[in-house]
Homo-oligomer: A and B are copies of this chain.
Amino acid sequence: MPRSSRFSVALHVLTHLADTAQPLTSERLAGCVGTNAVVVRRTLAGLREAGLVASSSGPGGGWSLARDPSRVSLQDVYTGLGERLLNGIDVTGPGVRRAPGGSCRIQRAVAGTLDEFLADAEQLLAARLARITVADLAAQLGPSALPRHHSRAG
């Protein structure tokens, strides 16, 4: 199962970032998530282009959120990653590789119907993802769960 874990990794990392004020290195994040630093960089590269996170080089550098967590929806993440939730479906079927001309009308009817359905479904799911934010994920940890640096007036 090469099931993509990029979405899960991205959310895990983003929630970590939402929970601290200082930048976190790829190495550190990889340790938290249970993967490799390069994988973290690869995953976060898309989110950086989407303006969700920022990265800085040099000592003390690393990754940090570019927006307030409540402004980062799961749809933003999903779009930034450039993934398709419904990617596991081959609309055209195996025959197209052999006879790209479209073997019969039935094949085209099936492909058309599936295409339409998938496009519709993608929109539907995206709308649902838009309702959830990284702040919602962080809130599940409890307000006092992790050490915050300046969240409360003292």
Q: Which residues of A does B touch, CB under 8 Å?
A: 1-5, 7-9, 11-12, 15-16, 19, 32-35, 39, 74, 84-99, 103-107, 109-114, 117, 120-121, 124-125, 128-129, 132, 136-137, 140-141, 145
Contacts and interface: CB of A to CB of B under 8 A. Distances in A.
Tell me the dominant secondary structure on chain A's binding face. helix
Q: What is the count of identical protomers in the complex?
A: 2
A54 B43 CA distance: 47
Given A89-B3, A120-B128, A128-B120, A141 B8 contact: no
B140 A113 contact: yes
A4 B5 contact: no
Contacts of A105: 140-141, 145
